Structure 1
Amino acid sequence: MPSPTPSLKGKTCLITGATSGIGFIAARELARAGARLLLVGRSARTADDAARRIREEVAGADVGPLHADLSSQAEIRKLADEVRNRTDRLDVLVNNAGGIFLDRTESVDGIETTFAVNHLAPFLLTHLLLPLLEAAPSARVVTVASGAHRGVAMTFDDLEGRTRYSGWRAYQRSKLANILFTRELARRLKGSSITANSLHPGYVNTQIFRDATWKGRVMRALAGLFAITPEKGAETTIHLASSPEVEGVSGEYFIASRAVGSSLASQDEAAARRLWDVSAEMTGVERSVD
């Protein structure tokens, strides 16, 4: 059994993708630890339902539901505005939302959906919420990556798979991008009160396979056979969000609540800086943390 979550009383935590799977479990446990929770779902209905379920399971839980389609940069900006209206500081930001899109589609912004949701969304949201993170005595940015990042490199000449697309490869590169972003964010925030770490939750039985085609159904069926439970998969997210053991630790990649080595491609500092610059251009980010 995992150790009890350290007290988060008086702290405000925001979690994206918190209506199901490891996001919901992490949200529930952080609320149980006393955190004031801002819970983000793709729709008002799913966010409200998740908040209701947490309140039913955790007596006295302080849960504020929010919703945004994270494939839309306009909705991400609207979400950040709503967060700023609800709190003057943020102690923990968990970038958990993500998906696997087996066929190539584009977001409302004309960006390949996997790259838009899995990488650009946390990149943009983190930037927009930096003033709130800076207002906390110490803050943590936790980004859910994946062991699937191994075996690929960033293809800067075709980041969106316009000339050649594989849903699985796109997912792998988006998870590599999560780690590169985390490392570069940690480098740029060195000496500040904010830390940034990424993690592999394990192969978890969740709703990450959003694809409604036969390929998506096959992937979900396989997940049901071989994956670990969301409760087990959420443990490292909870650890990074709450444990005093990782206070001051930044730029690391965790599996099973331990810092481990990630792929060589994910440690490429030049690639991390280049990805940062490309992402800033694609999101119109004006604020620079350098």
Structure 2
Amino acid sequence: MMKKTCLITGGNSGIGKQAAIQLAQTGFHVIIGVRNLKRGEIALAEIKEKSEQNDIELLQINMSLKKSILDASLELKKRTDKLDVLIHNAADFDIARKKPEKSVDGIETIWATNQIGPVLLTGSVMNLIRKSEQGRIITIASQGLVMHPKLTVDLKDPEFEKRKFSVPNAYYQSKLAQVMYTYWLSEQLKYTGITVNCIRVTNVKVDTSRYPNISGFMKFLYSMKSRFSISPEDMAKTYTYLASSPDINTTTGKYFNEKNKTVTSSPYSLKKENIDAVMKLTLKYIEQNNFANTLHK
């Protein structure tokens, strides 16, 4: 039987790395999307060692840059004939940042990495996903959205150019957009065998060594929070479940928690007119006028 192939972005650390280990153990050919090849090589060696599997490789991709995403998509098509699972794990959440940062494309990096990038990557590899017997697309959101039930995507200022910026606010907005993208894409693909589901990641222990510039007070807060958090390994089990379980072969357009149970998102995120407005905005960034049409080919 031919192995299934999974691409997981940001698979070199945290939940992504643990998911890569688990998926490799499950029998997947795992491709890890990484920004930095040097750090990726270190992670790759660890993943191979812990999973005791060798069918794992790296793919360089920066989810905040259109060219990097398109180049990675072309490279992926050279390496594999199909893509069974795409997990949009990579995210920008630099808790030390005080003001917005722009990508080379001129887009605020949290919005670019967490919303624009996943949409562009999905469209760019859709032909590979279509070749799978049962393709799966998995997006990632956050339980923190529960604390912001009235949050909306600011259609006029998604990049915080005219309003006060904070990393959490920018992050939660982008993750709300990802939930809405999940619903939109599942509807676009409803007559195919491809499923699209989202994971609501709960509080997970944070490796503060990844953020050397944060204050001692912030480190203290995160150490306290970690006491009530689950491990990346445990959270990754939901990634593995959604990527591999036969129980959800036809389940699509759903939102899952860390217990593999479906949950509900905010009323705002469920309204079709809001979903359509967010996706209209998103597709303007991509400048791919025929993007929706490519989903049906």
TM-score, normalised by the number of residues in structure 1: 0.91
- Among 262, 265, 268, the alignment partner of 2:268 is 265
Q: Equivalent residue for 2:183?
A: 183
- Among 238, 241, 251, the alignment partner of 1:239 is 241
Cα distance, 1:149 vs. partner? 2.5
Cα distance, 1:166 vs. partner? 2.4
- Among 132, 138, 142, the alignment partner of 1:136 is 132
Distance 2:169 2:106 in 1: 19
Q: Equivalent residue for 1:287?
A: 291
After superposition, residues 178-257 of structure 1 pair within 5 angstroms as: 178-207=178-207, 210=211, 212-214=213-215, 217=219, 220-255=222-257, 256-257=259-260
Distance 1:91 1:117 in 2: 22
Cα distance, 1:157 vs. partner? 1.5
Q: Equivalent residue for 1:146?
A: 142
After superposition, residues 168-179 of structure 1 pair within 5 angstroms as: 168-179=168-179
Out of 197-206 and 247-256, give the one that drifted further: 197-206
Q: Work out whether 1:88 is the aligned partner of 2:81.
A: yes
Q: Equivalent residue for 2:72?
A: 79
Identity %: 31
Distance 2:32 2:142 in 1: 22
RMSD: 2.0
Distance 1:276 1:16 in 2: 21
CA gap 1:9/1:220 in 2 versus in 1, 3 angstroms: farther
Distance 2:194 2:218 in 1: 37
CA contact (8 A) 1:22 1:206 kept: no
Cα distance, 1:77 vs. partner? 1.0
Cα distance, 1:246 vs. partner? 1.0
CA contact (8 A) 1:145 1:176 kept: yes
CA contact (8 A) 2:140 2:200 kept: yes
Cα distance, 1:82 vs. partner? 1.1
Out of 51-60 and 174-183, give the one that drifted further: 51-60
TM-score, normalised by the number of residues in structure 2: 0.89
Structure 2: 5+ residue runs without aligned partners?
Answer: none
Distance 1:45 1:72 in 2: 19
Report SS of the residue matched to 2:137.
strand
Out of 114-123 and 97-106, give the one that drifted further: 97-106
CA gap 1:145/1:254 in 2 versus in 1, 3 angstroms: same
Distance 2:190 2:55 in 1: 32
Distance 1:254 1:119 in 2: 19
CA contact (8 A) 1:19 1:46 kept: yes
Report SS of the residue matched to 1:80.
helix
- CA deviation vs aligned residue, 1:161-186 (integer Å, no higher than 9, x gap): 11112221111111101100010000
Cα distance, 1:281 vs. partner? 1.4
CA contact (8 A) 1:203 1:233 kept: no
- CA deviation vs aligned residue, 1:145-164 (integer Å, no higher than 9, x gap): 11223421111111111111
Distance 1:219 1:66 in 2: 34
CA gap 1:192/1:110 in 2 versus in 1, 3 angstroms: same
Q: Equivalent residue for 1:115?
A: 111
CA contact (8 A) 1:94 1:141 kept: yes
CA gap 1:107/1:269 in 2 versus in 1, 3 angstroms: same
CA gap 1:260/1:9 in 2 versus in 1, 3 angstroms: farther
Q: What is the number of equivalent residue pairs in this alignment?
A: 283
- CA deviation vs aligned residue, 1:183-216 (integer Å, no higher than 9, x gap): 0000000010110000112111235975834376
> What amino acid is the match of 1:153?
T
Q: Work out whether 1:155 is the aligned partner of 2:154.
A: yes
CA gap 1:241/1:142 in 2 versus in 1, 3 angstroms: same
- CA deviation vs aligned residue, 1:36-78 (integer Å, no higher than 9, x gap): 1111112111222222112212334301111222111111111
Out of 112-121 and 145-154, give the one that drifted further: 145-154
Cα distance, 1:225 vs. partner? 3.8
Structure 1: 5+ residue runs without aligned partners?
Answer: 1-7
